[in-house]
Amino acid sequence: MIEVFAPMTQGMIDSLKAGQSVVLSGDVYTARDAAHARIVDMLQKGEPLPFELSGCGIYYAGPCPDMPGRIINSCGPTTSSRMNAYAPLLYDCGVQVVIGKGPVSGEVRNAIVRNGAVYFAAVGGAGALLASCVTAVEDVAFPDLGPEAVRRLTFSRVPLIVAIDRYGSCVYDNR
């Protein structure tokens, strides 16, 4: 198991290979369909974004509503292909790491390679396990989206698989 930290260095990303198991610690932002649509709209209008895309990590998740006494409730990954229309632009704007589940389009894979990024797969159905790896949460943007609002999560050793490495190798090719 390889330990990696967000934000990731280019050297660390370059060293990862599709199929490797990693544990990730550090800060990532949650964003799903509605948040992606707003971010892309803001980019197209030249409006300032609520967080810096360059070098960031995005976790395709919409945590369940908070419960008293917990840092965060269940927060499993959503299907990554739902972001296919938005992801290439976000990679081109500097997004370095994405966490989701399932395969993505060829255009997304090309954007990962073009930008020297990485796509990690999280285990679907394991939202409670993943929530146990969150040590801090901060609301960042779009509170009107409820669970789909953008939040900054601090992970401690969240287990992931390198699904697409920066060279374009993909674990989903051999299905």
- Here the tokens at position 81 are 């292909």
In the chain, the largest separation of any two C-alpha atoms, in whole Å, equals 43
Specify the DSSP element, H or E, that contains 90: helix 87-92
Which residues does 27 contact at the CB level (< 8 Å), separation at least 6? Answer: 6, 7, 57, 152, 153, 154, 155
Which residues does 127 contact at the CB level (< 8 Å), separation at least 6? Answer: 64, 74, 75, 76
Q: Which residues are catalytic?
A: 36
CA distance 66 to 88: 31
